[in-house]
Amino acid sequence: MTTRYDTPEMAALWNEEAKFRSWLLVEKTVASVQAELGIIPKQAARAIQRASFKISEIDEFEKVTNHDVIAFTRSVSKSVGTAGKYVHYGLTSYDVVDTALSLRCVSAFEIVLVALGDLRLEAARLALEHKHTPMMGRTHGVHAEPITFGLKCLSWFEETERNLRRLAAAADEMRHGKISGVVGAYTQMGPDIEAKVLSRLNLMPEPVSTQVIPRDRHAVMLNALALVAAGLERIATEIRNLQRTEIGELGEPFAKGQRGSSAMPHKKNPITCERITSLARLVRAYEQVGLENICLWHERDLSNSANERVIIPESFTLTHYMVRKMTGVLAGLVVRPDRMLANIESSGQTFFSQAVMLELVRAGMDKDRAYKLVQELSFTCQVDGTSLPELCEANPEISRLLDRPARKRAFDLKRLLRNVDAVYRRVGLTRRG
């Protein structure tokens, strides 16, 4: 609907000329198989292999016919003279439209998969580079316990891995065509013709079609793209949050000459991540339309047709755009380990509260008593600016129960993060791998 978020690869795949080329490929392949089986004259099939179309001519024909496929076949038939009567012989519109759409969807998946692979590499690079860069982990937006920034990036890497698998599976789901006629019952041509045609197009026959390929396949496709979009939004939202002035741990790349605000020269806004967030909402909304398209009247109606001209090309295009933009953000991401450490230290080390509580339980204190005691001390830290180690040291009950080795264990940041390497090994991401 807008070219603002087009990528060159998707623009080339989803324009009108590419659509008609894919239709013509199906028509030519059908004619070739029909000639081999003696259904149409071989000289007619040879002529159809040289067929072409003119978009301007199709547009003029459609003004009269109000039917885009008939307008297309008229233009194609005109280009081959008397052999034109064998163009679209025994076919219905969606034998061509749906089969060609599957071809383009499979190609679009390949484009997105390549881009997602690049994003995966950037997430892996950050995860390895910051494997031991400590930062505060947050739950409910509040300081919880420390993690490493690499571990956060590792979760992005692993979700991207899952999305790569989902996209590959959805591509296989769409690798189906149909040449089964007006109601899917092969009334004019048999399944043998369909099998030969689709084999040459590197597609599989839809096991049981109506006049269309069942739309649950397209819903799976749109769901896979929506999941990619949701994953990108998760990364984008995290970067946006961590770029907030009060946190300041990350920053989007900011190019020379870039402006953050028309009014405030000091601004550096996370506009790319905000754009990804915005577009992700649209791709997820398109998934809902795809689900609505599953239910058609009887063997086919047109209630899916108009919206699919929008939702399928745009879902692929926007997803590809967002993946490429996020890859650029991660490639140039500003990471501030000093700010991460400062934020850790700002909490008065209350993030050690669980470790202290467990040490007290190990030393013999009732767990509920230990929880209440450490909670009281932690809340005091938040009010008067003292640190949890200081208050624990001054508390007679704790100092009596916890000896120096126990206190050292309780307040050891490296010990809290000691199992990070194990997570990396579990997902198979190491510096050598």
Burial of 254 (0-12, 13-18, 19+ CB in 10 A): middle
Cα-based angle 139, 144, 147 (whole degrees, multiple of 5): 100
What average pLDDT score do residues 273-285 get? 97
**Helices 216-243 and 305-331: crossing angle, nearest 10°?**
30
CATH architecture of 92-131+146-186+198-335: Up-down Bundle (1.20)
pTM of the model: 0.94
**Tokens encoding 419:** 């199992």
Q: Which pLDDT band holds residue 430 (cuts at 50, 70, 90)? A: confident
Does 364 have pLDDT greater than 90?
A: yes
Q: What does the alpha-carbon distance between residue 162 and residue 34 come to, in Å, rounded to a whole number?
A: 42
pLDDT, tens digit, 9 for 90 and up, residues 198-236: 999 999 999 999 999 999 999 999 999 999 999 999 999
Indicate the helix (H) or strand (E) that contains 313. Answer: helix 305-331
CATH of 341-427, picked from 3.40.50.300, 1.10.40.30, 3.40.50.2000, 1.10.150.120, is: 1.10.40.30
Query: Annotated active-site positions, please?
Result: 140, 261
Q: Which pLDDT band holds residue 267 (cuts at 50, 70, 90)? A: confident
- Number of residues that this document lists for the chain: 433
Domain ranges of the chain: 1-89, 92-131+146-186+198-335, 341-427
What average pLDDT score do residues 11-26 get? 97
Q: Which amino acid is it at 144?
A: A
**Tokens encoding 104:** 């383009």
Identify the CATH number of the domain defined by range 1-89. Answer: 1.10.275.10
Q: What does the alpha-carbon distance between residue 289 and residue 294 come to, in Å, rounded to a whole number?
A: 9
